[in-house]
Structure 1
Amino acid sequence: MTSLENVRVFTQSAIRIQSKDGVVIYLDPFSLTDAEAAHDADYVFITHAHFDHFSPEDIARVAGDHTELVAPASMGAEVARVADEIGATAVHLLQAGGRLELSGVAVEAAPAYNVEPERLEMHPQANGWLGYALTVDGVRYYAAGDTDQNPDNEQVACDVALVPIGGTYTCDPHQAAAFVNALHPKVVVPIHYGSIVGVPENFDEFAAEVAPGIEVVRKVER
């Protein structure tokens, strides 16, 4: 499992996960190149409304002829517009704690929000924005969204954690390592660094503080 050959992180928090049966999941597709615009999405998950996570242009670039969208309930109107534009076959709106059974993936929504004083207004708890725990082929992937460690997400059970480390808007490398050590997954993939915010060297700062026994895998491609 630790090779994570079925997982890509293109840039920022743009994640692609593919099941053994070929079910294709995207989370927060953003700034995709022509070569990455595969139009193969079965499901597109949106964590929140910021431009680098909710990009209608990039959703259109991954959408196929049977794409379903999953998003926070608080984004219902804007997601409905995009669904109409791309011809999505379904829209699923979730609140924190919500669960959903889709073909090839079981979904649990976790709250994503800031608690650090300097960024409380960036991702307020009241916005109802989300991370997602996705069970695919018996493996539970937790894509945390833009968040700090908080009382509602620090006990999410997962095998693979994809957590932001770039600071400014989310956990910095040190805070992210503490978050991951609380989660204690088998594997962690740091995201949300090296482009809009953070630098590539954040990976090493983060990895140095992750507890022994948790494998740190580099996946951000650019």
Structure 2
Amino acid sequence: MNIQKLPWAGIRLISGTTAIVIDPLFNFPSKFGQPHDSLYPLDEFGAVDAVLITHQHGDHFDPEAIATYYGEDIPVYVPAEALHLTSSGKLKDIRGVFPEDSFQVGAFTVTAAQSVDGVGDPQVAWIVEDGEKKVIHCGDTLWHGYWWKFAKTFGPFDAACLPVNGAVIELPGLTPSGQPICLTPEQAVSAANILGANTLIPIHYGTIHHPPVYQQAPNLLDRLRTAAKNTMKLAILDVKDTITL
């Protein structure tokens, strides 16, 4: 299995002639100012057979880009509870999936798993395996108690793609908490350790930093390296980089 890094939280998984993408992003949400990394037309990363979406937030679900670069008929899998929130006139094949539902996409078996969104919206993690390797992608989850269940039911994992930017937000209509809405670097390493992940691939950092609306954790890569040292393999990928598990 090959894993290619896309901007922000996106990854592309390839096994044989099958490719799927999780949370691809091209159109940057204006409420976050300007992106701090480059965004690329999605077809620059190659074709895909299906799209998996962890949740409907604009930095994870980009229906316009999906329709433009993958086609309006591409199968798009979303949390079943968010199906009414992801309706798009451009996308003609949006499918709702509940936690622990599984389905086949070519060489891949895909399973949805529980997740906990930082502002309480429906979200799932995606577990993808090809008979030889197994990967989990956890969107922008915060810390929760499902890690041990994942490890027991689905683990161990060859790689875990986990958010690491520990973002603190101040959005209109929400009382500021001062608390991170997704995993901090240290929490990501702890989660990957519980999951039995051989490799931690950090996602969901760098592109968005727009205080006070959205503020990522300081020195996050240094903190991540320190936390992961002598614990697990850390694969910090630039956009378009590909690793083979």
In 1, Cα distance between equivalents of 2:56 and 2:67: 16
User: What are the within-5 Å matches in structure 2 for residues 35-74 of structure 1?
Assistant: 36-37=43-44, 40-64=47-71, 67-74=74-81
Q: Is the 8 A contact 2:49 2:105 kept in 1?
A: no
Q: Corresponding residue for 1:217? A: 235
Q: Are the structure 2 counterparts of residues 29 and 55 from structure 1 closer, same or farther at C-alpha, using a change threshold of 3 Å?
A: same
Q: Corresponding residue for 2:193? A: 181
Q: Corresponding residue for 1:161? A: 160
Which structure has the larger Rg over C-alpha atoms?
A: 2
Letter in 1 for 2:125: G
User: What are the within-5 Å matches in structure 2 for residues 20-169 of structure 1?
Assistant: 21-31=16-26, 32-34=39-41, 36-37=43-44, 40-64=47-71, 67-81=74-88, 85-88=90-93, 91-114=94-117, 119=118, 122=119, 124=120, 127-156=121-150, 157=155, 158-168=157-167, 169=181
> Which of the residues 9, 13, 21 maps onto 1:13?
9
> Which of the residues 168, 179, 202 maps onto 1:190?
202
Please report the RMSD computed on the Cα atoms of aligned residues, expressed in angstroms.
Answer: 2.5
Q: Deviations over 1:145-182 (max 9, x none)?
A: 11123112344222110000001231111121211121
Q: TM-score, normalised by structure 1?
A: 0.80
In 2, Cα distance between equivalents of 1:66 and 1:194: 32
Q: Which aligned segments of 4 or more residues in structure 1 are displaced greater than 3 angstroms? A: 34-39, 197-201
Q: Aligned with 1:93: secondary structure?
A: strand
TM-aligned CA deviation for residue 16 of structure 1: 0.8
Q: TM-score, normalised by structure 2?
A: 0.74
In 1, Cα distance between equivalents of 2:184 and 2:109: 29
Q: Corresponding residue for 1:202? A: 220
- Taking only the aligned residue pairs, the percentage that are identical comes to 23
Q: Aligned with 1:25: secondary structure?
A: strand
Unaligned runs of 5+ in 1: none
Q: Are the structure 2 counterparts of residues 65 and 52 from structure 1 closer, same or farther at C-alpha, using a change threshold of 3 Å?
A: closer
